[in-house]
Structure 1
Amino acid sequence: MDQYDCLNKAQLSFEYLHTNSTTHTFLFGALAELIDNSRDAGARNLDIYTCKDPSLRGGFYLTFLDDGCGMHYDDVFNVIVFGKSAKRHAPDSNQIGQYGNGLKSGAMRIANDFILFTKKDNIGTCLFLSRSFHQEEHISQVICPMPCFDLRTQQAIQNTDFQQLNGTRTYTFDKAKHELEMHLIKKYSPFKTMDELFKQFNLITTPTGTLIVLYNVKLTDTGESELNIKTDPYDILIDSRNRQSLFDDDDNIPLEYRSLRAYACILYYEPRMRITIQRRRVITKKLPHTLYKPRQYQFKSTRFKTRSEQEIKKCEKELESLEERKREADSQVHHLQQTIGVTTSLEERARLRKLQISAAELKDLTIRLRNGLARKKSEMSTTKTLTFIYGLNIQNRAGDGVFVYNCGRLIKMYEKLGQPNKKTV
């Protein structure tokens, strides 16, 4: 483990990667997390496709390629830190992702490993997160190599925190760290050479964008991939044997539960992103426009308290835990400052600098969470609106039920609901 001390580490344990991924009981829901990230990044185009690779578990890897805003090194660093998503504090409240958790939970539900390539201002940054690496090396702390390159010269650049002043990091280049990062990526990823690695950056043909590769996909009890890419060359399906909890046979299963293409078609209330699956475009549609004689009803109330109160209690517990961690980090910094005094030892100063950066990060997170809690409390008394749209599905009379959209994204479909319980409102 000591040999990896210089590498970036996520603020979570290895066991939590699995626990976090199990929040997705519906396989397409995990894929939707990655689609949401592209939409939130302002992408106009998203390509989802598979590439065959017999050396990998499942025999292929799954790729998401978008032309969104891309990320700088700092942004990529924040991806691996829970609760440090810039989207959570963005003025655009219609963004779907808020906590920076969707990439990790969604990717880890689909596959054992993923590698991310992102491009912005001619700088390419790579993020590598591999459970295979952690299992083979018996490592409990999550280590995330993050090499960074100037794409014009293909030379490695900034990769090590130097100092943090007024909330802004500066970086220096650590050759030993970079070589270790590249060693791990070449050993545990599908891309074994620098040429193969830069080919992935070259797939991002727009000035900004992101490419995510999921590999070593999850298998069923029969040894087949959970994602079926053989039956339909232009779609990604869920094998019926992996859907026993829903229905017994495909004839009784709505197409959106079986086909990623059908699911992506109605995933957003206001489709504004061109999605292609297996090189063929998805024809998106607004669900209300498919209904016969739709009617709309808006219900306004200040009584949607139960969920808000739950969110506030959860946020208060997180804040209490974070403040305790911040106090402990500050104590460690003060203790080390008193211990080392005016020593000129580079090792001690490097240790102090790491602790100071960690304490500054925790302070920043605490301020963000406290502001978020204050915002939630102020919104408790504001009037909220629920929009109900009713209509007849005359194209498929069996396809009835309630479809629920939150922030414009489908979260439930084909629900059969009874009379609402006023106590839960």
Structure 2
Amino acid sequence: MKRLGYVALGMGLGIVTAVGLLPQAQGANNGSIYKQFDLFSDAYEKVRENYVRPVQDQELMSGAIEGMVSGLDPHSSYMDAKAFADMQITTKGEFGGVGIEVTMDDGLIKVISPIDDTPAAKAGVKTGDYIAAINGDSIQGMGLNDAIDKMRGPAGTKVTLTVLRQGEKKPLDIQLTRAVIHVDSVKWRKEGDIGYIRISSFNEETGRGLEKAVKELKKQIPNIKGYVVDLRNDPGGLLDQAVQVSDDFLNKGEIVSTRGRHPDDTQRYPAKPGDITDGKPIVVLINGGTASASEIVAGALQDHKRATIVGMTSFGKGSVQTIIPLGEGGGALRLTTARYYTPSGRSIQAEGIVPNIAVAQGSEENVAKFERPSEADLPGHLANDAAAKNKTPQPVVRPPQGKKIEDFQLSYALDLLHGKQAIAQAKSPEKR
């Protein structure tokens, strides 16, 4: 495989150095490519000379690159120098803003998930919300990076998001106070004789955070019965951290493989001996906001039957983005370069991880539509040619009527580990 440095999953984070990515035009294609460049040059000059106001060359070129890349799929984009610098800070677990992971969907900004303990989460921004305006300015026609930039600002300043939410007849104006976002991607606590571990994202500290969490929980609970790993609303992040987290729970076998355009681009990531939980039972919680790197972890533990997956079908982002710097001070491309596959060989692109036990958080009438925003809903998403056809609807466990349970999915997982629910024996997923 041609090494590019390091790769990112998730709603696409990471840094790489690209060498020799563009093939040289040869033979009959040579003339065709030059004609296309002549066409671009002609259009560039016409706009530069005739647009209603003067435009800078940098503005035109940035727009041209963004248009070229963003039309490929929902996760490829161009970052100017400032956006590239902001992205590098984000992967280190600290950045400024309101604390939401977003993507572009049909001209609006779609919330993949709010980040735990950030202004967005505290103000009630939800997975699946659509942001239609920022401070009263419509985002129609605005690029994703421009919208993100408008949401950022000095800590203590305010920003108002106009949100469209399913079930609400009118748009909601949600005012947020910006903050410096410190993302502790791993948190933990005792739940009786069970260890609860919440992973909210995959940044450079996630692997170390998980290992610290397990170590502390073992001290707090000498006769620990098992672990709940909560990946709900985790939008993903760095590939190497997803591999490390999976490896911490596995003794052997493949964790994930990435397969690019060419056969020799395939890369496989094997587990090393050593399970930090000493083989204790694990239940993993997922939902529609569980995306990318977090889906890698859920898929690896499911395929190896190392954990029981509980919740709702995940987002279905099965693609890998590579961050490719463009010259000195020229920003970078976030480019989709591969798909990833779970150990059994299945691609979850636009499909998601289907839980062993489907458990709804609430009693909504239309659980599938309400609780499951999906990669498959995004315009221009990569197709999954091996997607299952005419799938049998999965029975969903719902909270008992008349009984208020603050977190039904977590309650169900704890009961499962205590033997109060029958543990599902997952069938080996069909290879695709």
Q: Give the TM-score normalised by structure 2.
A: 0.23
More helix, by proportion:
1
Q: Give the TM-score normalised by structure 1.
A: 0.23
